[in-house]
A = this chain, B = another copy of it.
Amino acid sequence: GWGDLGVFGEPSKETPNLDQMASEGMLFLDFYTANPLCSPSRAALLTGRLPVRNGFYTTNAHARNAYTPQDIVGGIPDSELLLPELLKKAGYTNKIIGKWHLGHRPQFHPMKHGFDEWFGSPNCHFGPFDNRALPNIPVYRDWEMIGRYYEDFKIDLKTGEANLTQIYLQEALDFISKQQASQQPFFLYWAIDATHAPVYASKHFLGTSQRGLYGDAVREIDDSIGKILKHLQKLGISENTFVFFTSDNGAALISAPKQGGSNGRFLCGKQTTFEGGMREPAIAWWPGHIPAGGVSHQLGNVMDLFTTSLSLAGLQPPSDRQIDGIDLLPAILQGKLIDRPIFYYRGNEMMAVRVGLYKAHYWTWSNSWEEYSKGVDFCPGQNVSGVTTHTQEEHTTLPLLFHLGRDPGEKYPLSFASDEYQRAMEQISVVVQQHKATMVPGEPQLNVCDKAVMNWSPPGCEKLGKCLKQPKSDPKKCFWPH
């Protein structure tokens, strides 16, 4: 979450490496994800397109979040062009370390979508599963699985101990060294997941944080990032390497306080289209190019990393499709402010939009009364009347409007009768109209679930004697509760 970094005001201030990265680079205060949930956010990062365009959404119910659990049939369509596919044209070697989450069936394998190397898992590490109803999640090296979480890659749910971040770190350092040695340009997508419940940390970090296990995980990630940056410096390639740190969604407040982080003073968390769900910590680092200690109010989005990375490689984004990401280099290198909106989606419903400092909510929803009454709360301790609603509330004729400068916590909707409301909404309406008029949604990938597509027998399972029996195919509509 935005508020998990010292530089963003976490009261324990336990991220010295990220804080230093910010002081040597540029801090983005108004940076967003494209979706308040993992898979769609990552699909947006790698395609430069909103999930509603690249297919990472559901239409099974109105305004529902969806991702890629084990039984999802869909994944990243071949028709989407991913960042690593494009970077290949400029001679880049591409590696993903960690969580992929763009589909786990064979056609969705990251190495079928531009990556040259992979160490990590197709799905989340939650579990352990029983290998009967649900197989444990496999860990891949390139084309083949080399084991499964909990069985071969241990996570101790009692102590929270797991050395996965250390493995991911070593993978990153080795890859960077190899690329430097061979003088090959590279794209490394370092997608660690220690702060996702069940959170974990390696022995060395357990118990070192004021914040408990979640803080231990943050500290280990922070430490690893420090080591990666130092490695780049030691190899003498820091001035040739653009590094960007951000997150895929806001902290999951449902998991707080033991397994969840902080969104600072922003409202609610993961799964919601309030600021706490979608505003992300973000730091750009590129010594010798980015002025040290810079701070930018550029409205940014993970999708911009697609376009910006292409720009850095001297490539143009594809012209045969709508790209939502913009090139941030003018903002990063020349301090320019580019006028652009931020859209907040759930499924194919545009819930809210930000234009300048104004944010208009066309729909509000945290989660359902039914879930809420069972203790599922995306906004614990926070209740802004008429805003953090437990029914889906439509405001399309008279959107709720907030000024995020005066009121970053979205607590004080502007008066509908005010001149300020009228002026701001006039401007916003034009942006929304234009956006909706030209919107061509992609084929929704997250509508169909089937037990048969789970990680029963990933390639390599034979060698390990870890193949499981695949049940009969029985495709069904996926159920998405919120």
Residues in chain B near residue A8, CB distance under 8 A: 9
> Would you give the shortest CB distance from A177 to chain B, in whole angstroms?
31
Residues in chain B near residue A266, CB distance under 8 A: 11
A215 at interface by CB-CB < 8 Å: yes
A-B CB contact pairs (8 Å), 16 listed: A8-B9, A11-B29, A11-B264, A12-B408, A13-B29, A210-B297, A210-B357, A210-B405, A215-B406, A257-B403, A257-B406, A257-B412, A380-B412, A381-B409, A382-B382, A383-B383
> Would you give the shortest CB distance from A354 to chain B, in whole angstroms?
13
> Would you give the shortest CB distance from A298 to chain B, in whole angstroms?
13
Q: Please give me the residue from chain B that is nearest to A379 by CB atom.
A: B381
A295 to B20, CA, bound (A): 13
Residues in chain B near residue A384, CB distance under 8 A: 381
Residues in chain B near residue A12, CB distance under 8 A: 29, 297, 405, 408
A163 at interface by CB-CB < 8 Å: no
Judging by beta carbons under 8 Å apart, are A264 and B9 in contact? yes
A residues in contact (CB < 8 Å) with B: 3, 6-13, 23, 27, 29-30, 209-212, 214-215, 256-258, 262, 264-267, 279, 295, 297, 357, 380-384, 403-409, 411-412
> Would you give the shortest CB distance from A23 to chain B, in whole angstroms?
8
Q: Please give me the residue from chain B that is nearest to A209 by CB atom.
A: B405
> Would you give the shortest CB distance from A106 to chain B, in whole angstroms?
42
Judging by beta carbons under 8 Å apart, are B412 and A3 in contact? no
Residues in chain B near residue A23, CB distance under 8 A: 23
Residues in chain B near residue A211, CB distance under 8 A: 405-406
> Would you give the shortest CB distance from A220 to chain B, in whole angstroms?
17
> Would you give the shortest CB distance from A95 to chain B, in whole angstroms?
33
Judging by beta carbons under 8 Å apart, are B383 and A381 in contact? yes
Judging by beta carbons under 8 Å apart, are A380 and B29 in contact? no
Main secondary structure of the interface of A (DSSP, over half): loop
Residues in chain B near residue A412, CB distance under 8 A: 256-257, 380
Number of copies: 2
A297 to B211, CA, bound (A): 13
Q: Please give me the residue from chain B that is nearest to A263 by CB atom.
A: B265
Residues in chain B near residue A267, CB distance under 8 A: 381
Say which residue of B11, B30, B210, B405 sits within 8 Å of A265 (CB atoms): B11
> Would you give the shortest CB distance from A377 to chain B, in whole angstroms?
10
Judging by beta carbons under 8 Å apart, are B264 and A212 in contact? no
Judging by beta carbons under 8 Å apart, are A265 and B357 in contact? no
Judging by beta carbons under 8 Å apart, are A411 and B29 in contact? no
Residues in chain B near residue A297, CB distance under 8 A: 12, 210
Residues in chain B near residue A295, CB distance under 8 A: 6, 13
Judging by beta carbons under 8 Å apart, are B265 and A9 in contact? yes
Residues in chain B near residue A408, CB distance under 8 A: 11-12, 262
Q: Which of A295, A384, A405 has the most CB of B within 10 A?
A: A405
Q: Which of A13, A23, A264, A265 has the most CB of B within 10 A?
A: A265
Additional A-B contacts beyond A12-B29, A210-B405, A381-B383 (9; CB < 8 A): A3-B265, A8-B9, A9-B265, A11-B265, A13-B295, A211-B405, A212-B406, A256-B411, A257-B403
> Would you give the shortest CB distance from A199 to chain B, in whole angstroms?
12
Residues in chain B near residue A30, CB distance under 8 A: 11
Residues in chain B near residue A11, CB distance under 8 A: 29-30, 264-266, 279, 404, 408
A381 to B384, CA, bound (A): 5
Judging by beta carbons under 8 Å apart, are B3 and A9 in contact? yes
A256-B412, A381-B383, A383-B381 known; A406 vs B214 contact (CB < 8 Å): yes
A134 to B113, CA, bound (A): 75
> Would you give the shortest CB distance from A407 to chain B, in whole angstroms?
4
Residues in chain B near residue A6, CB distance under 8 A: 295
Residues in chain B near residue A257, CB distance under 8 A: 403, 406-407, 411-412
